[in-house]
Structure 1
């Protein structure tokens, strides 16, 4: 386990990062969001090779995120930041790949997905390092590794427990606001259930095509499938009141995605966006009035942040204006700040950014005032 200090300073005396202080030369001023949605934006990571997808605990005192740190493992690992004293603890074992972490709302537990139980995990790490040394660059593609399982661990990265232990991609998990349920994405049925000829062909061509949203109890029991399509349904998050789930559904060709919400039993599925672009990574504002997400409306590789009201009565409104990638947005628990992942850096690699969020402007722009 690694315990070290990263240049992620979200403290300043108050739990919800009300005073973002600059830390050494790694902090870079970023442009304000479109029409002032985001102000005082700063880069808050940089010591790592790359980092992103950070999430807060309900009390605002902890931030969990994934980062690639130079060393023998070229893949992301999971880190937990204590925002009061700046200490960072590695949570994941350091073997294999990890993704999609979350902090329990009240207990000292972290949720994440990992392939560390894959017998070939170390061999795959070595192969990835050699691939990078060769100078050959592969086109970006997300890895739906069948050895991904969902784990929980304590704040020291110990007492690791496998909650899914099922062949197939189990990832993209988050606890409900009361900590009693977990929503996640999985293509497990492709490995355990009979498939039609069409489904078999789809899965062989693209393993993500059979990924659906599932829900289970926090101990991994009572697993229930919520979506039933031959498209990629993923990235689920609970609403602040715990009554609904927001997620993104890919098109049949996998080139587009739209934002949806539904009740936690899978009923009342509603489509919120119709942009015919890649809209993904949706996240509720704590007010439960609107959702923020990323979309490439401005160009294939130019992802910007947008907001849409929870009833989709108005077209989504653009939030950021910066060439490149802005995505994976989350709000601090008090809704006054926003943290997201962006490559608006000199090295063009993803890092965490943080800024003041203009809630009143968001309400006004969506006609909610």
Structure 2
């Protein structure tokens, strides 16, 4: 359903199935780049990755973000009014979690770890997000919760050496699935766990101001 020049990836549906979010560097192919931009593109084409939304049939494509660095991994909130994603800084050394309205307005940075925070996903209640970050050490990715306004400090969810990434909630919100290398041989496997929504809200409410 997409056929533009460039790299289109990381698509996700809205809850009602009417729209698809995705990341693309198509703008770098559709206009003449300056010499400085051309050098950046040749070094790392993901520098030009921005977020787009389109109707589920591929029509009515709209660009939502225009920022240097890699915008990717977008997901709609359960009610379709918000979008969350991760934004790498221009040099690609760190990433943070952001949210915005579904039309691209009111962009808000939620995390400020100066590390790599990525793979955000809304709880079906819409009251908070879960994401992965290596804020505790470069090779140690853990899962964290954060409220949708970024008002409170993130709450750590996992506590295991290695890599815990790509978390998603079940549609009912009572289970969590993610990828982890906590296996005996260190290979990446899927894990699933029960989720206590009330306890998550309690922990976030008691977390210090961010």
TM-score scaled by length of structure 2:
0.95
Tell me, yes or no, if structure 1 residue 242 matches structure 2 residue 46. Answer: no
Higher relative contact order (CA 8 A, sep 6+): 1
How much does 1:197 deviate? 2.3
Q: Distance in 2 between matches of 1:177 and 1:196?
A: 39
How much does 1:337 deviate? 0.4
Match of residue 147, structure 2, among 296, 309, 318: 309
Match of residue 163, structure 2, among 322, 325, 333: 325
Contact 1:199–1:230 (CA under 8 A) maintained in structure 2: no
Report the counterpart of residue 37 of structure 2 in structure 1: 199
How much does 1:321 deviate? 0.5
Give unpaired runs (5+ residues) of structure 2: none
Match of residue 228, structure 1, among 42, 66, 82: 66
Tell me, yes or no, if structure 1 residue 172 matches structure 2 residue 10. Answer: yes
- Cα deviations by residue, 1:209-240 (Å, 9 ceiling, x for unpaired): 00000000101111111101121000000000
Give unpaired runs (5+ residues) of structure 1: 1-162
Q: Distance in 2 between matches of 1:197 and 1:308?
A: 40
Tell me, yes or no, if structure 1 residue 189 matches structure 2 residue 23. Answer: no
Q: SS of the counterpart of 1:203?
A: helix
Match of residue 131, structure 2, among 272, 293, 312: 293
Residues 123-138 of structure 1 aligned to structure 2 (within 5 Å): none
Q: SS of the counterpart of 2:158?
A: coil
Q: Distance in 2 between matches of 1:196 and 1:349?
A: 43
Q: Distance in 2 between matches of 1:217 and 1:171?
A: 15
Tell me, yes or no, if structure 1 residue 344 matches structure 2 residue 182. Answer: yes
Q: Distance in 1 between matches of 2:93 and 2:187?
A: 23
How much does 1:320 deviate? 0.3
Tell me, yes or no, if structure 1 residue 215 matches structure 2 residue 53. Answer: yes
Contact 1:234–1:248 (CA under 8 A) maintained in structure 2: yes
Q: Distance in 2 between matches of 1:211 and 1:348?
A: 31
Q: SS of the counterpart of 2:84?
A: strand
Number of equivalenced pairs = 207
Contact 1:304–1:318 (CA under 8 A) maintained in structure 2: yes
- Cα deviations by residue, 1:115-171 (Å, 9 ceiling, x for unpaired): xxxxxxxxxxxxxxxxxxxxxxxxxxxxxxxxxxxxxxxxxxxxxxxx102221111
Structure number with larger C-alpha Rg? 1
Q: Distance in 1 between matches of 2:31 and 2:186?
A: 42
Contact 1:278–1:296 (CA under 8 A) maintained in structure 2: yes
Q: SS of the counterpart of 2:205?
A: coil
Residues 90-101 of structure 1 aligned to structure 2 (within 5 Å): none
Q: Distance in 1 between matches of 2:3 and 2:184?
A: 40
TM-score scaled by length of structure 1:
0.55
Tell me, yes or no, if structure 1 residue 355 matches structure 2 residue 193. Answer: yes
Q: SS of the counterpart of 1:202?
A: helix
RMSD (Å) for aligned C-alpha atoms: 1.3
